[in-house]
Amino acid sequence: MAEKKKELKTKPYKKKKVCPKCGHGTSLADHKNRFSCGKCGYTEMKAKNG
């Protein structure tokens, strides 16, 4: 019996924003209305459209 090979499906890499206070290695979490750093607490609000 020949088994079919399963293809590895990967999603495209989405580059995250880097925290300006902590520097490289710490990314900002993407929330509904803001970006926030879990390490230092830096918060950046997203722009409202309309």
Domain spans of the chain? 15-50
Tell me what pLDDT residue 10 has: 80
User: What average pLDDT does the segment 1-9 reach?
Assistant: 67
CB contact set of 27 (below 8 Å; sequence gap of 6+): 16, 17, 18, 19
For residue 43, report the phi and psi dihedrals to the nearest 5 degrees: -130, 135
Bigger pLDDT: 44 vs 1: 44
Asked whether the whole model's pTM tops 0.85, one would answer: no
- Is it the case that residue 48 has pLDDT exceeding 70? yes
Measure the CA angle with vertex 12, ends 7 and 17; round to 5°.
Answer: 150
- Residues 12-37 have pLDDT tens digits of 877 889 999 999 999 999 999 999 99
